[in-house]
Structure formats: structure tokens, C-alpha cells
Structure 1
Amino acid sequence: MDYFAGLDISMDETHVCVVDREGVVVHQTKTASTAAAIAVELAKAPSCRRIVFETGRMAPILFHGLSQLGLPVVCVESRQAYQALKSLATHKTDRNDARGLAHLARTGFFKPVHVKSLSAHALRSLISARKKLVGQRVTLENQIRGLAVVFGIRLPRALTAAFIDQALKASEGIAGLSAAMRGLIAARTAVMTAVAAIDADMRRMARASAACSRLMTIPGVGQLTALAFVAAIDDPSRIRRSRDVGAYLGLVPRRYQSGEVDYVGSISKCGDRRVRTLLYEAANVMLTRYKGQLKLKDWAFAIAKRSTMRKARVALARRLAIIMHAMLRDGTEFVLA
């Protein structure tokens, strides 16, 4: 007889439930949220044909850890699992969720999701850290300008070293303002140093990656965009058709149809928001800063002529995603034409 397991994972504990083909619970317990501990508990039950758990913060490390132990684990989208679990139990508890996931594994009523490699997650963490630091730098600079303008000191958007010195000199003699300025400027300097260190690491990683080097030959695509795209795709072969990348990154129009109602709205904005933003910026750079002749530019400008420039940027971003995926999958080069 076939057996199926569901895992409801939290930071500290994981609830385990194993059911047979008829849905009868044969083993139910909880253990620590580590691959070794979960494998020990599953070994106490009959061998499972399929083990299902939801996406979450612990999903990558547990998925790869259990896979290395030879267990048939499947990760499912948490939003899809939520809709199914809501109809299976009146009370939402970890125990009930584990049993519900086991029933999902038994029925096969789920769509598995790709769990990115740990190296891809590490690269995404580096990009996220840089984004957070850049946001902190902007916040600090706005705070410096806000404090300075109260005392009649107007600082430009680009805070160069000369303007920082001007702000410090102007605040001298004002006890509260001087201390505040020095503290904020010291914090800004530390943040900028950290951003520069991350940029240096990203530059080395981009140069060492053949895939990133190929992607960076596309006008408008820099090291940050190339690294973010490679980390988001992870394994190009998992997406069979390159044109599906647009939907994966949320760059296709949202459609709603019900009876006589049928309309197409703005883009869905699903998937990785950061990669979508970077592709949009790359499209804007290609249209506004790249001076060479390019068929992609002509195609996007034709869209802008009959619609809007914003829609042209979105369309070009989607086309860039398709081209970049094909380059990763096939190992081909970008041809300027």
C-alpha cells in the first residue's frame, strides 16, 4: 500500500502526519525542524511515496536536506495549500494542517514549485542586503537635508563630500544640530562603505560567472540585473518555453473572465519584484541612453508610438526576460542587430 506524508513546518517544531491510500492516519507526531529529526520520525512510519510541505522561510534548507537523505519531498505554494486546507478542517492548528497536507499528497491536488538552490538563495540575500542598505542611505540623506533646511542650509540631492563639509561647518556652534549632523553623517558613511563592499563582491561574482558575462552584453543590463536574473531563474531548464518567463516574473497582463465579464488589466506583478524592477530599468536604459541601432529599440518605440512609453518599457522588459532566459538555456550570445 502507498503512504503519504504532510509536514507543517515552523521555526522550532514540525508536525508530521502520515496517511495511507484510504486517508487513514497511521503516524502523527511532532519533532524539531531539522532535516535529520524529520527523517528520523518518518523512518518510524511506513515508507512514503510522497512528502508534501508548504513554501516558507525554512523550505529551502529542509527541501535540500531531505532530498539529500533520499526522501521524495515536494514543495507546494502556500497560497494554494491554504485554500485546500481551509476546506478540510474547521479549526486551523498545526496538527490539522499537517494532516491536510498529507491528504494533498495523497490526492495529488497540488502544483509543485521549484525550490531554488542554496547558492541562488545566497545570491538573492546579497542583493536584498544591498537594496536595504541603499534604502537606509536614502533615509539618512533625507534626514540630513531635513535637519539642515530648518537652519537655512539647503543641500542638493547628491550629497558630495564638499556639501557634507558645508553642512558640518554650518551646524557648528549649535549643540543639538551639530551632534545630530555628525551622528547621521557617520551612519551614512558606514552604510556607503558597506554598499561599496557588496558592490565589489557582486562585481567579482559577475566576472566569474560565464552566464552573467553573456547577459551583460545586452545594452542596459548591468551586473546587478544579470546576477538577480540568474538567481531568480536558477535552473533555466525548468522553464520549458522562454516566453513563459514573462508570466513567471509578472510582466504579462492580468485577465479576469466570469460569464459575460472579460477584461484584461495591468500586469500581474507576480514573482520576484526586484527582478521585475531591474528589467524595467534595463529597458528604460536601452530606450533612453543606448545610442546604437537596435531592432529591439525600434520595436519598443513602435509600441510607444501607438500606445504609451510606459507600456513600451514593460513590453521591452518582458522581451528582455525572454531573450535572457533563452541565452541562459542555450548558452548563446546576444547579437547587436
Structure 2
Amino acid sequence: MDYFAGPDVSLRTCALCIVDTKGAIIFERELACDVDEITDCLKGFAHPVVRIGFEAGTMRQHLFYGLTNDGFDVVGMEARQVSVGLSAMRSKADKNDVHGVAQILRTGWFSPVHMKSREAHKIRALLNCCKALLNKTIDLANEVRGFLKFFGQRLPKTVQHGSFDDLVRPLIAADEVMSQAMLPLLDARVAIFQYYLAVDRRVKRGPQ
């Protein structure tokens, strides 16, 4: 008899269901969404688990690689197919989703999803960080531009990020109120822009 485990993963918890080859529910438990706790639970089960499968998603990447490293055969299932499969089942209660995930895994009615490597996710995190920092730099520059318009100061449409601070500070230096209003924005923008440059250099160096 083979056994299949279908975790239903949320942000902090993981509902675990194990079914046998015939589809009978053999084991159920709610665990913390933690690799070590899930591993201990599965290794404590009376029989070897043939395969573990769950919907592909953000929280699943960590569990996929953690459980794989612990010696389990783990597969990511295409989320849309799992959703369709669950919606076709009689019971619509959320608590029964974990049963459905285990049954879909057992029947093989799913498409395996390629899980990106940890290295790929690290590069993606750097790129997303770089983009977020640049967007914040632009947002603060636009805030300063908006304030200056109230006082009749119009900056050129295009100003290099590295030149923005040197262009604006002389315009507000003689006005105490304008300086108090805009210097914090300029200081914050410079700091964020420097972080952006540092992350951008790291991205351009490529994998280490």
C-alpha cells in the first residue's frame, strides 16, 4: 500500500492529510508551517510516504526545498488545476481542501510545476529590491517637484538622478520654510538612491 501526503499551506500553519492508494484518509494533523515540524511528523508516520504534493505558491518554495533536502519526493502542483479539482468536489468547506489536495496528488490529475532554484529567487529578490528603491527615489523627486511648483519653481522635465539634489538645494537654500519642508525629502531621496546604486552594482556583478 502506498501513502500520499497533501499539505494545505497557509501563512503560519499547514494542514496535513495522508491518504492511501485507495483514497482512504489515514492521517490528519494541523502543524506550524515549518520544515522541521512537518519532517518530524512525516517521519513519525507508521509507513513511508511515497510522495508529498502541494499547490505551487510563494510559501511553498521554502517547504519544497526543505522537504526535498530531508529526503522526501516532493512535487509542486499547478494551482489552477488544483483549484478546478477542489471546486468539483462535493464539499466546499475550506477544512476539506487538504483532503482534496491529497486526493489530487494520489490520482495524478495535475501538472507538475517547475520550482525555481534558491539562487534564482535570490536574484529575483535583488531585482525587486532594485526596482522598489528606484521607484521610491522617483516618488520623492516628484514630491519635491510638486512643492516647488507652488512657489513658481519649475525643474527641467528630465533631470539625472545623480544631479537632482545639486539642482534643487540652491533653489530652496534662502527660504527657511521651504528648506524645512523639502530638506528631509531630499535627504531621504539621496539615502535611498545610494542604496539603489549599491544594489544595482550587486545585480550587475551577477551570481557569485
Length-normalised TM-score, structure 1: 0.57
Two-structure CA RMSD over aligned residues (Å): 1.7
Contact 1:18 1:45 in 2 (8 A): no
Partner of 1:75: helix, strand, or coil?
A: strand
Partner of 1:164: helix, strand, or coil?
A: helix
Contact 1:26 1:45 in 2 (8 A): no
2:19 aligned with 1:23: no
CA deviation map 1:21-73 (0-9, x unaligned): 21110111111211221122222142222211112222111111101111111
1:181-330 mapped onto 2 (5 Å cutoff): 181-205=182-206
1:6-155 mapped onto 2 (5 Å cutoff): 6-43=6-43, 44-93=45-94, 95-155=95-155
Alignment CA distance shift 1:200-1:41 (3 Å): same
Compute the displacement of 1:204 (Å): 2.5
Q: For 1:162 and 1:132, locate their aligned partners in 2 and report how far apart those are by CA, in whole Å.
A: 23
Q: For 2:15 and 2:64, locate their aligned partners in 1 and report how far apart those are by CA, in whole Å.
A: 15
Contact 1:134 1:195 in 2 (8 A): yes
The residue aligned with 2:169 is: 165
Q: For 2:77 and 2:181, locate their aligned partners in 1 and report how far apart those are by CA, in whole Å.
A: 49
Could you tell me which amino acid in structure 1 is paired with residue 17 of structure 2? C
Partner of 1:58: helix, strand, or coil?
A: helix
Structure 1: runs of 5+ lacking an equivalent: 209-337
Partner of 1:29: helix, strand, or coil?
A: strand
Partner of 1:15: helix, strand, or coil?
A: strand
CA deviation map 1:256-296 (0-9, x unaligned): xxxxxxxxxxxxxxxxxxxxxxxxxxxxxxxxxxxxxxxxx
Contact 1:27 1:45 in 2 (8 A): no
Alignment CA distance shift 1:9-1:65 (3 Å): same
Could you tell me which amino acid in structure 2 is paired with residue 154 of structure 1? R
CA deviation map 1:50-101 (0-9, x unaligned): 21111222211111110111111111122221121122253332x3121111
Contact 1:54 1:75 in 2 (8 A): yes
Compute the displacement of 1:198 (Å): 0.5
Number of positions where the alignment pairs a residue of Structure 1 with one of Structure 2: 203
Could you tell me which amino acid in structure 1 is paired with residue 169 of structure 2? D
Higher-RCO chain (CA-CA 8 Å, sequence separation at least 6): 2
Alignment CA distance shift 1:45-1:154 (3 Å): farther
Q: For 2:82 and 2:138, locate their aligned partners in 1 and report how far apart those are by CA, in whole Å.
A: 39
Q: For 2:172 and 2:127, locate their aligned partners in 1 and report how far apart those are by CA, in whole Å.
A: 32
CA deviation map 1:297-325 (0-9, x unaligned): xxxxxxxxxxxxxxxxxxxxxxxxxxxxx
CA deviation map 1:86-123 (0-9, x unaligned): 22253332x31211110011110101111111111111
Q: For 1:119 and 1:167, locate their aligned partners in 2 and report how far apart those are by CA, in whole Å.
A: 46
Compute the displacement of 1:8 (Å): 0.6
Q: For 2:90 and 2:5, locate their aligned partners in 1 and report how far apart those are by CA, in whole Å.
A: 17
Alignment CA distance shift 1:14-1:45 (3 Å): farther
Partner of 2:92: helix, strand, or coil?
A: coil
State the percentage of identical aligned residues. 35
Q: For 2:122 and 2:111, locate their aligned partners in 1 and report how far apart those are by CA, in whole Å.
A: 25
Q: For 2:39 and 2:171, locate their aligned partners in 1 and report how far apart those are by CA, in whole Å.
A: 61
Could you tell me which amino acid in structure 1 is paired with residue 196 of structure 2? V
Contact 1:67 1:73 in 2 (8 A): yes
Q: For 1:111 and 1:8, locate their aligned partners in 2 and report how far apart those are by CA, in whole Å.
A: 17
Q: For 1:89 and 1:188, locate their aligned partners in 2 and report how far apart those are by CA, in whole Å.
A: 55
